[in-house]
Structure formats: structure tokens, C-alpha cells
Amino acid sequence: MIQNGQLISLLEKSFSFWDKISDLEKAALMDNISDIKYEKGTCLSGSDDSCAGVFLIRSGTLRVYMLSEDGKDLTLFRLNPGEICILSASCVLKLIRFEVLIEAETECRILVANANFFSDLAARNVWVENFSYKVAAERFSDVMEAIQRIFFLSVDKRLANFLLEEIERNNTNVVPVTHEQIARYIGSAREVVSRTLKSFYVLGAVELSRGGIKIVDKKLLQSMSK
């Protein structure tokens, strides 16, 4: 369980409105935060729970995605330690209705601020309200980028970009994901991903194994991403 001093430090660093609320509001906010551990694969928020809370990720990675009626999903963006998800608390955003699903991509430790309390706080304090919409706007920018890639980039370019982003994010030249997972990330079909990866292998950009995809020619992959 997180200690008060550590909690205050995290909230001060993560919530830009922290010095704009009263001491009583700070204490109340801390009382309305839960430190929760989620196992890999856990669904944190969905259409039946659109006001799960405001998430502050301490460790692990969350995947935010949309699901079609026929069961196909599209990854919109992922959230890493230190980042905030407010789309998990749509009741805070009075003018925005945007249904997404959120799952723990890895084991996660997350601070969850009670959505109703946070909504009331935002209604009373313009700094909290502005913070909420600023975070939401940043996430919508991520959503628009994901949609633009689907509409305007070919599968090979989307795949090359994904692989480059993964090795940058994890600081390694091996991407330990399945073809099915990649398909969900880039909005394609597993068969198409497998075929495109094989072409990358033939060109000498990657090596394929059960453990994942090894990038052997980063410059070649960069040229293929443009």
C-alpha cells in the first residue's frame, strides 16, 4: 500500500491543479484514491462501466481500444507509468461521450480516483476542470493519430512504425508479441500481419522466432515506415 508521503508526491507531480485546491480538498482527494493491483488481461473499464475512475498508472501498461460489433478491436493508444487516463471516467467530461475499453496489458499498479468525487471537484474548481479536458484532448490526439494511420497508411508502413515504436519504448531490438497481438495494435488481420512480416524477413529487416520479432536492420525498417 502506498504511503501518504509518496501519494502526495505523486499527486503533486501528476495533477497540475494540486496547488490550486484547498488543503481540505487535497485531503478529501487522497481519501478518495485507491491503490489497486490489476492482473494482466483484466478489463478495467468498458461500456457498462464508463465511470470507473481517473487512473494514474504507477507501474505496468494499459491498452485503450475500441471493439466492433463483430468482435474486431482497434488499439487507440497505450498508457505507461506516470500517465493518466481520464476516458475511464466519462462522467467527469460533461461534453464528451467516448466509449472505450481499457485492459491491463501487463500486471499493473494503479491509483484510482473516485469518479464521482473527481467530477464534483471539477465542477467546483475550474483548474481541475481545465486539467480534465486538457488530458482528454491529449488522448483524443492519440485517437486521431491511430485512425489516420488506419485510413492513410498501408499495412506495411503501419507495421514498420509499430515495430520501431516498440523497440524505442522498450529499449530493445526484440519485440515479444504475437502476430495476433500486432494485428490488434495496427488494425489489421493476423494473416495480413504474418504475410507482411515474412516480406520484411525476406528483405532482411527482421528475424522471426517463437520468442518474437528481432529487428536486424533498423535503417531499412525506418525507410519502410515512410
Q: What is the pLDDT of residues 39-73, one digit of tens each?
A: 999 988 755 555 778 999 999 999 988 877 776 77
Q: What mean pLDDT, rounded, does the chain reach?
A: 87
- The third-level CATH classification (topology) of the domain covering 153-224 is Arc Repressor Mutant, subunit A (1.10.10)
Percent of the chain surpassing pLDDT 90: 48
Pick from 19-23, 83-87, 121-125: least confident: 83-87
Q: What are the residue ranges spanned by the domains of the chain?
A: 4-151, 153-224
Q: Which grid cell sits at 30?
A: 487522497
* pLDDT at residue 95 is higher than 80: no
pLDDT at 90: 64
What SS3 state is found at 60?
coil
Residue 66 C-alpha from the chain's centroid: 12
Q: What is the pLDDT of residues 204-221, one digit of tens each?
A: 999 998 878 999 999 999
Q: Give the residues across from 79 on adjacent strands.
A: 62
Rounded CA separation 40/179 (Å): 19
Residue partners of 183: CB distance under 8 A and separation at least 6: 189, 190, 192, 193
CATH topology of domain 4-151: Jelly Rolls (2.60.120)
pLDDT in tens, 140-188: 888 888 888 888 889 999 999 999 988 988 888 889 888 988 988 888 8
